[in-house]
Amino acid sequence: MKYSIAIYTKVLFGLLLLTLLTFMQPVFYHMTPDKTAIVQLLISMMKIWLIGAIYMHLRSEKAYLKSYVLMALIILLIFFVIVGIDVTHL
């Protein structure tokens, strides 16, 4: 599936808007550091989905390639959990 320049432009502006939201969220919405981190991670997940789906063309790929990407993300998550457990026990 080939995307048009209009789609790429909309995604670019969406990414820029989400980046602006990332920087402005702690200024306008004062939350505890834990809640701020969760909101920031949710915003970054939206940006990751946009980049993966549109710019990396994963939206129109076959299922086996999508499963490879998912497997890589799960392995990365496992590493983050292991490091997080290690850091909390220092």
Q: In sequence order, which residues have a C-beta less than 8 Å from that of residue 55 and are 6 or more positions away? A: 8, 11
Question: For 4-27, how does the pLDDT look when each residue is reduced to its tens digit (9 = 90+)?
Answer: 899 999 999 999 999 999 999 999
Mean pLDDT is highest, among 1-5, 17-21, 50-54, for 17-21
Per-residue pLDDT, 39: 93
Question: What are the sequence ranges of the domains in the chain?
Answer: 1-56, 62-90
Q: Rounded distance, CA 69 to CA 8, Å?
A: 22
Given a cut of 70, whether residue 1 has pLDDT beyond it is no
